[in-house]
């Protein structure tokens, strides 16, 4: 099963993901209508992307009074049924990430559905901050990176030299 992996250390802040998301979902470019969001902390020059994590224990799904949020067992994605949604916004309150949002018109709930398995945001993210990969690959690639860094440090300590950690 593929998962969306978010790595804020790699995000270059280009906002391509936000533009691409709104375009895929609404046919227009409007950052305020994007499911993924990059938060800028200008004073410390930091930017951090946040997006729905399709949580295993999903509060949005649990709190929905009309059963409009349902998990697709085949891919783990929580989908929103706009036809039965009553717009009570309790899913927005419940989401600990703030990733369930209201659209810019203030009319509809916006919830990431991973574009049905081909997320538009990932296609335009060249920094590697957003990746859509098999769950085991997501973990193993991180493990490999850490393992390599760990070995470099261990060897440097053995040599009594300076580490670049």
Partner 1 sequence: MLKGFAGTILRVNLSKGAILREEINEEWARLYIGGRGYGGKLIYEEVNPAADPLAPENKVVLATGPLGGTTAPAAGRMMVVTKGPLNGSLACSNAGGYFGTELKMAGFDMIVLEGKSKNPVYLSIMNDQVEIRDASGIWGKIAHEADSLLRAATHTEARTMQIGPAAEKLSLISCVMFDGHRASGRTGVGAVLGSKNFKGISVRGTRGVEINDYEGFKQAVEKAYAKLKAHPVASQGLPTYGTAVLVNILNDIGSLPTKNAQNAYFATADGISGETMVKKTLIKNKGCGACPIGCGRITEIREGAYKGSKGEGPEYETAWSFGAMCGIDDISAVTKAHYLCDDYGLDGISAGVTIACAMELYEKGYMPKKDAPFPIRFGDSAAMVNLTQLMGSGEGIGALLAQGSFRLAEHYGHPELSMSVKKQEIAAYDPRGVKGIGLEFATSNRGACHVRGYTIAAEVLGTPVSVDRLAYEGKAALTKAFQDLTAAVDASGACLFTTFGMDAANYAELLTAATGIPYSEASLVQAGERIWNLERLWNQKAGFTAKDDTLPKRFLTEQIPSGPSKGEVNDLHKMLPEYYQLRGWDSEGNPSKEKLKELGLR
Residues that bind partner 1 (CB under 8 A): 9-10, 12-16, 19-20, 22-23, 26-33, 40, 42-43, 45, 104, 123-124, 126-127
> Please, which residue, 27 or 160, has the CB nearer to partner 1?
27
H/E stretch holding 151 reads helix 135-159
> Please, which residue, 34 or 68, has the CB nearer to partner 1?
34
- To partner 1, the closest distance from the beta carbon of 96 in angstroms equals 21
- To partner 1, the closest distance from the beta carbon of 1 in angstroms equals 26
CA 62 to centroid of chain Cα atoms: 20
Give the residue from 94, 96, 124 showing the smallest Cα distance to 34: 124
- To partner 1, the closest distance from the beta carbon of 77 in angstroms equals 22
Are 99 and 109 in contact, with CB atoms under 8 Å apart? Answer: no
Are 118 and 124 in contact, with CB atoms under 8 Å apart? Answer: no
- To partner 1, the closest distance from the beta carbon of 26 in angstroms equals 8
> Please, which residue, 31 or 94, has the CB nearer to partner 1?
31
| Number of other residues whose CB lies within 10 A of the CB of residue 19 | 17
């Amino acid at each position: 099963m593929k998962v969306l992996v978010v790595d804020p250390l790699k995000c270059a802040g280009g906002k391509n993901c936000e533009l691409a998301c709104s375009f895929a979902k609404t046919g227009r470019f409007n950052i305020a209508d994007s499911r993924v969001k990059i938060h800028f902390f200008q004073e410390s020059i930091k930017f951090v992307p946040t997006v729905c994590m399709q949580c295993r224990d999903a509060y949005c799904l649990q709190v929905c009074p009309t059963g409009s949020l349902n998990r697709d067992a085949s891919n783990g994605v929580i989908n929103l049924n706009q036809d039965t949604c009553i717009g009570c916004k309790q899913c927005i309150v419940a989401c600990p990430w703030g990733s369930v949002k209201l659209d810019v018109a203030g009319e509809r709930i916006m919830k990431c559905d991973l574009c049905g398995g081909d997320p538009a945001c990932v296609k335009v993210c060249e920094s590697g901050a957003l990746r859509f990969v098999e769950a085991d690959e997501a973990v193993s690639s991180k493990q490999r990176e850490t393992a390599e860094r760990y070995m470099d440090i261990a060897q440097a300590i053995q040599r009594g030299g300076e580490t670049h950690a």
